[in-house]
Amino acid sequence: MVPRGVYICGMSAEDEVPDDPEQIVGNSASIAMLKRVAENVSSHLTQGEKRLKAEQAFFLPCTDDSVPIIGQVPGVKGCYVATGHSCWGILNGPATGAALADLVLEGRAAIVDLSPFSPARFVDA
């Protein structure tokens, strides 16, 4: 069976996010490595039966302490955030959304203690 399409991602790096999104480019060495891996996985890719559609780079929302930020922004009434899940956002999104909804509507999350995720941990005391 010939694959209709293949999506390959990986090769993390720590870089600063540029101000201009047009400046976000893939690392050529990382892309070359991913292509080699893909060719080892599928003979269809090696034989050139499929053409490359795009090479892209993107930034994952990560925090310095590798813990997501979920909660009310200190000093800004009614402003809440839920970010910093890295690649786990798609998996943890539903639980994060439920906890944040509880926090906004009830003043606390019933399903999880959000204190370890508080945005306040980044505010100088």
Task: Label residue 15 by pLDDT band (50, 70, 90).
Answer: confident
- Are 119 and 74 within 8 A, CB to CB? yes
Q: Give the residue carrying structure tokens 């991602």.
A: 9
Is residue 125's pLDDT more than 60?
Answer: no
- Cα–Cα distances (Å) from 23 to 14, 56, 57, 58, 62, in that order, read 15, 12, 10, 11, 19
Strands (E), 23-110: 69-72, 80-83
> Whole-prediction pTM value?
0.68
**pLDDT average, residue stretch 55-67:** 86
Task: Label residue 121 by pLDDT band (50, 70, 90).
Answer: very high
pLDDT value at position 58? 81
Domain boundaries, the chain: 1-59, 69-122
The tokens for 90 are 């798609």
Give the C-alpha separation, 5 to 14, whole Å: 28
**pLDDT average, residue stretch 77-89:** 92
User: Over the chain, what is the mean pLDDT?
Assistant: 86
